[in-house]
Amino acid sequence: MNRRKLLKNAAAASLLPLVPKSATPENKYRFAELDPVTITKVKSIVTCPHGIELIMVKVETDQPGLVGYGCATFRQRAHAVVAAIDEYLDDFCRGKRVENIEDMWQTAYVSSYWRNGPVLNNALSGLDQALWDIKGKMAGMPVYQLFGGKCRFAVDCYGHASGHTPEEVAEDVQGFIDRGFRHVRIQLGGYGATHLAEQADFKTAGFAMEDDNYMDQNVYLKMIPKLFEEVRKQCGEDVELLHDIHERVQPLDAIRMIQKLEDFRPFFIEDPFSPENNRYFEMLRQHTTVPIAMGELYNSPHEWVDPMAKRWFDFIRIHISQIGGITPAMKVARLGEWFNIRTAWHGPGDVSPIGHAANAHIDLAVWNFGIQESVNFSDRLLEIFPGAPYVEDGYMHINEAPGLGVDVNETEAAKYPLPDKFKYNWTQVRKKDGTPIRP
């Protein structure tokens, strides 16, 4: 055997489990692979402890005690993801090896022929993250070590400040600063500041559903520069400020509003356009130097590869389970490095603690990390997900257990079953005349 092949085998062997029992000169190099570890079952685990549907994948293996967990949370279509896992992925994976994550990802990705949709991508993410979890457990290392180790001591996060008035938001921002945060996202009320809108004509006319939301885009566009002005006045120049447009306004209106924010030096402005309006990023870039973040609604590489290669935005904030897990997210992160695009993974409450851990493992390891959206986990969530990350002084920390470091207490999870119907309607927003607004 030539030297190159010998070294390659030696390197591969060093990652395999249970090696060496005793390091003797005889077993330093290995020329045959160890017995494969195979998948015996892939199943969904669901829980809804705070009215937020969380979906996980558990991968079981033929090695006693060796299991992995991954996040497959897509709360708006939870039952569909559960079916994709239990009815399709389980059958696809049984008997296959756990070690070959890339091969599993590529083959599962095309197993449906049609691909890149949110339901199947989330199921795939659950599988992918669980396999990385198992890989770390086999190696005896936290997953970030498998990506090359730490590039920073912890994960810098931003908090979410909001209120019905600029003054209320400024007060909330100060609370985050007092708790050690350096970055704070500022929002006026709910998505699109719907509380600022007066009576909707479509409601008076009896059009659409009574609980549909009404957004007055002009009021929103006028208020956001005032919000920045007030927060800068009250909280000073040092804190980094972020804002999420949540799409919802016309692209040229968004561009004009972002120009008005330049003097307040935003850290980034997020989601100015819906993915269908991707081409407007080129125009936005020509009209402002405000850093732009985009990506939580992306599902397909067709949506992000070209804009990243053209440097149309500065932060890629993909929702990792929506693109199929850690394997594709690492490729997105590495792609961004060459175009000076930093990561800012989507990290809301409808990502399970396992998904937040997956975000953080990547955040620790990639050079072009930007910022991480963070949430605090309740005691109830910590009971269901022992080992979950925690945030202190604005930094997220993970534990150093092998794998992703988060377990699932299935007995606790089962106490909070999925509801039969999805009732939350924040995606239903209309203009004054009732025209649906696209997030």
Q: In whole angstroms, how close is the CB of 217 to Mg ion at the nearest point?
A: 17
Please state whether beta strands 39-47 and 54-61 pair in parallel, antiparallel, or not at all (unpaired): antiparallel
Q: In whole angstroms, how close is the CB of 277 to Mg ion at the nearest point?
A: 14
Burial group, residue 392, by CB count within 10 angstroms (0-12, 13-18, 19+): exposed
Site for Mg ion in 25-84 (CB under 5 A): none
Q: In whole angstroms, how close is the CB of 391 to Mg ion at the nearest point?
A: 19
What is the gyration radius of the CA atoms in the chain, in angstroms?
23
Q: In whole angstroms, how close is the CB of 278 to Mg ion at the nearest point?
A: 15
User: Could you say which of 243, 246, 346, 361 is catalytic?
Assistant: 246
User: Annotated catalytic, 191?
Assistant: yes
Please state whether beta strands 429-430 and 213-214 pair in parallel, antiparallel, or not at all (unpaired): parallel
Nearer CB in complex with Mg ion: 266/405: 266
Site for Mg ion in 233-262 (CB under 5 A): 244
Q: Which amino acid belongs to residue 380? A: R
Number of residues that bind Mg ion (CB under 5 A): 4
Q: In whole angstroms, how close is the CB of 317 to Mg ion at the nearest point?
A: 7
Instruction: Please give the angle made by the CA atoms of 125, 128 and 129, to the nearest 5 degrees.
Output: 85
Cα–Cα distance measured from residue 430 to residue 422, given in angstroms and rounded to the nearest whole number: 20
Q: Using the rule CB under 5 A, which residue among 133, 216, 271, 314 binds Mg ion?
A: 271
Nearer CB in complex with Mg ion: 133/296: 296
User: Could you say which of 79, 88, 109, 191 is catalytic?
Assistant: 191
Scan for tokens 């979950």, then name that residue: 388
User: Annotated catalytic, 346?
Assistant: no
Contact between 170 and 195 (Cβ < 8 Å): no
Nearer CB in complex with Mg ion: 61/374: 374
Binding mask 291-330 for Mg ion (x = CB under 5 A): -----x----------------------------------
Residue 120, both tokens? 């199947």
- Phi and psi at 321, nearest 5°, equal -70, -20
Please state whether beta strands 240-244 and 183-188 pair in parallel, antiparallel, or not at all (unpaired): parallel
- Report, as residue numbers or ranges, the catalytic residues: 191, 246
What residues line the site for Mg ion (CB under 5 A)?
244, 270-271, 296
